[in-house]
Structure 1
Amino acid sequence: MKEKMFNVGKIVNTHGINGEVKVIRITDFDERFEKGRQLFWANDENSETIPLVVSGHRRHKNFDLLRFEGHPSINDVEKYKNGMLKVKKEQQEPLDEGEFYYHEIIGCEVFTNTEEYLGVIREILAPGANDVWVIKRKQEKDLLIPYIEDIVKEIDIVGKKVIIEPMEGLLD
């Protein structure tokens, strides 16, 4: 059986001619991209992964720019465009109480505190101060829920269930 891996970034383009790639990060852990860290590249869920070791990292605008050992030019990294950077389960960082990995939250069913079913969390956005959960609803447009204490009241990772207390206007 293939080992389960977790996405930490998506390579969206190359940057310059010296082997840098432009990455949209899907992780809160800055240390994922530190020099010497190992990541795995794949272009879809079922493809073979290619191990890559970070040789350089810097932030540029809203992107992470990464270089990999043994990949000194744009020609070496062109093939990685649109692929995902992943880590193995044992590479995951330990979390504090009340913290969760994205993959634990995505797929959870969301209910109000009055037991009204809202939908399933399909994506997590990280626009700034707090994450925003995208809830896929039946025959309605997606619902955006900010991940803040005032709204998210209970998270059951094992039961894949989240209880929220919607503030006025949130469900409109």
Structure 2
Amino acid sequence: MEQLLQVGVITQPHGVRGEVKVFPTTDDPVRFKKLKKVILDTGKEKLDLEVEHVKFFKQFVIVKFKEFDNINDIERYKRCPLLVTRENAVPLEEDEYFVADMIGMKVITEDGTEFGILSDVMETGANDVYVIDSKEHGEVLMPAIKECVLNVDMESGIITVHLMNGLI
């Protein structure tokens, strides 16, 4: 299980006082308002940062960190992910899971036949779509709806699905 979860990616500096535009990679960008600490993954090291203030602009979150006060300090961190520890993650509702925990899970059909491995989860407007790598069928896109996804067993690492007519 992943211990660090990505909540956003720095896209570019915003202004000259050390603020950055962050593209949120979380389902709930408003969660940045409650965020006090993040981890900046530079690729070489992980830096602990304190969030000073947050505001919103179009689809972006504008974040000011206490550690950076001008554009020159923060500019080199473009395209770096922002992470949170699992303890600082948003609490999940029933039947909600972190995508990072689901990737790699075995997918079986309701009769117990091995179908494939979950390789990705795509977010769409209506519902998520599971991307399943199947040896027999190649890449299969399955809507993450109750009619198709019968059970997600995180402990055993198995997702049980119903193959609707026309899906394959």
TM over 0.5: yes
Q: Specify the alignment match of 2:63 in structure 1.
A: 66
TM-score by length of 2: 0.81
Residue 134 of structure 1 corresponds to 131
Greater fraction of residues in strand? 2
Counterpart of 2:119?
A: 122
Q: In the alignment, residue 57 of structure 1 is paired with which amino acid?
A: K
Which residues of structure 1 form unaligned runs of 5+?
Answer: none
Gaps of 5+ in 2: none
| Aligned-partner residue type, residue 60 of structure 1 | K
Q: Residues of 1 paired with 2:62 and 2:137: CA distance?
A: 37
Q: Distance in 2 between matches of 1:75 and 1:64?
A: 20
Which whole-Å deviations, capped at 9, do the CAs of 1:107-161 have from their partners, x for residues lacking one?
A: 2111121333232212222222222222233486422222111111000001110
Instruction: Report whether the alignment pairs 1:94 with 2:79.
Output: no
For residues 119 and 95 of structure 1, the distance between their equivalents in structure 2, rounded to whole angstroms, comes to: 26
Change (3 A) 1:98 1:70: same
- In structure 1, the residue matched to 2:12 is 14
Deviations 1:23-47 (A, max 9, x none): 3333223343116521111134xx4
Point out 4+ residue stretches in structure 1 off by more than 6 angstroms: none
* Secondary structure in structure 2 of the residue aligned to 1:34: helix
1:20 Cα deviation (Å)? 4.1
Equivalent positions of 1:37-116 (< 5 A) are 37-44=36-43, 47-54=44-51, 55-61=53-59, 63-116=60-113
* Contact 1:15-1:65 at 8 Å conserved across structures: no
Aligned residue pair count:
165
Name the SS for the 1:33 alignment partner.
helix
- Aligned Cα RMSD in Å? 2.6
Checking the alignment, whether the CA contact within 8 Å between 2:103 and 2:120 is kept in structure 1 is: yes
The aligned counterpart of 2:33 is 34
TM-score (normalizing by structure 1): 0.79
